[in-house]
Amino acid sequence: MQNILTVDKIEKYYGNKGNVTKAIDNISFSVNKGEFLGIMGPSGSGKTTLLNCISTVDSITTGKITINEKDITKLKAKSLEKFRRDELGFIFQDFNLLDMLTAYENIALALTIQKRGAKEIDRLINEVAAKLGIEAILSQYPFQLSGGQKQRVACARAMVTEPSLILADEPTGALDSTSSRLLLDSFEKLNQEDQSTIIMVTHDSFTASYTNRILFIKDGRVFNELVRGNDTRKEFFNKIIEVVTLLGGDVSNVL
C-alpha cells in the first residue's frame, strides 16, 4: 500500500527559554493511501497544532514530515504555497466559503488558482457536485444554503483538485446531527470509492466512528490508537467511548 504521510518524531515548542510549552511531544505515525484517519483528544491536547503542522500552516521544532515522498519541513515559502495548493485539500469547521461567490464559483476558485482551463473546471465541478449531491445548489450563494449544504460545498472545494491528502478540522463542529450524518456519509463514500486519503480532527466520538483508524492524543503525545478493522460502526463507536472515558474521564469532551 502506498504511503502518503509519514510523521517522524516531531516536536513543537511554544514560548522561550525558561517557559517552554510542548504542544507536540514526540509524535510519530504514518498514513497510507485510501486511509480515513481520525485524530481525537481533549481541548488543548495539541490535535489542531498537529493538523496545522501537517498542513504546513505551522512549522515544527524538530522531526520530519513527509507527504507523498516530499519532506515538507525543508520546503521554502514559495514551494510551500504551491504544495499546499496542489497536494492538500482543507475542510474547516466554519466552512470558509466566500460569501459573495456562488457555490459553483467557490469550488471553481480552488481550480482557477491551479491555472486549469475553463472547460476542465466546468467538467470537474459537475463531477464532484454529482458525487456530493449538490448539483441543484451550485448557482446559489452561501447565505441561501444550510450549514450542511455549505459544508458539502466546502468538501467539494477540497476534493475537486484531487489532492493527495484531505485535512478536515472539526468538519461537523457547526452542524446539526442530520447534516453531520449526511456529510460523514459523503466522506465515507469518497474514501471508499475514490480512495481519497482523509485526516479528520474531531472530539466527537460519533463523528470519529466513521473513520478506519483513530489516534488519541493527550498533552502532545499519542495516548492510544484504535483500528476499526472489521468492526461495525456501532462496535467501533463503543470502543471509542471506552478510550475517551479512559483518556480524560471528562464527559464534556465526549459529547
Name the one range near other proteins by CB under 8 A: 36-44, 78-86, 219-227, 235-243.
78-86
115 contributes a contact to other proteins by CB under 8 A: yes
- Is residue 204 classed as helix, strand or coil in its secondary structure? coil
Q: Does 76 bind other proteins (CB under 8 A)?
A: no
Of 233, 221, 230, residue with least CA distance to 23: 221
- Of these, 31, 39, 60, 121, which contacts other proteins (CB under 8 A)? 121
User: What pairs with residue 25 in β-bridges?
Assistant: 11
96 binding other proteins? (CB under 8 A): yes
Min CB(143)–other proteins separation in Å: 6
- Report if residue 113 touches other proteins, rule: CB under 8 A: yes
Q: Is 59 in the site for other proteins (CB under 8 A)?
A: no
* Residue with Cβ nearer other proteins (124 or 222): 124
C-alpha cell at 141: 450563494
Decide whether 111 or 222 has the Cβ nearer to other proteins: 111
141 binds other proteins (CB under 8 A): yes
Min CB(100)–other proteins separation in Å: 5
Decide if 62 contacts 9 (C-beta within 8 A): yes
- The mark string for 150-189 relative to other proteins (x by CB under 8 A, - otherwise) is -------x--------------------------------
Which is it for the CA torsion 243, 67, 167, 210, positive or negative? negative
**Angle formed by the axes of helices 147-159 and 103-112, nearest 10°:** 20
Nearest to 204 by CA among 240, 163, 164, 157: 240
Residue 85 in the binding site for other proteins (CB under 8 A)? yes
Strands 3-16 and 19-32: antiparallel
Q: What does the alpha-carbon distance between residue 208 and residue 200 come to, in Å, rounded to a whole number?
A: 8
Q: Where are the alpha helices (DSSP H) in 113-165?
A: 118-132, 147-159
Span between the terminal Cα atoms of the chain, in Å: 34
Nearest distance in Å: CB 253, other proteins:
26
98 near other proteins (CB under 8 A)? yes
* Cα 234–chain centre separation: 22
Determine if 79 is a binding residue for other proteins (CB under 8 A). no
The contact set with other proteins (CB under 8 A) reads 78, 81-82, 84-86, 88, 90, 92, 96-101, 105, 108-113, 115-119, 121-122, 141, 143, 157
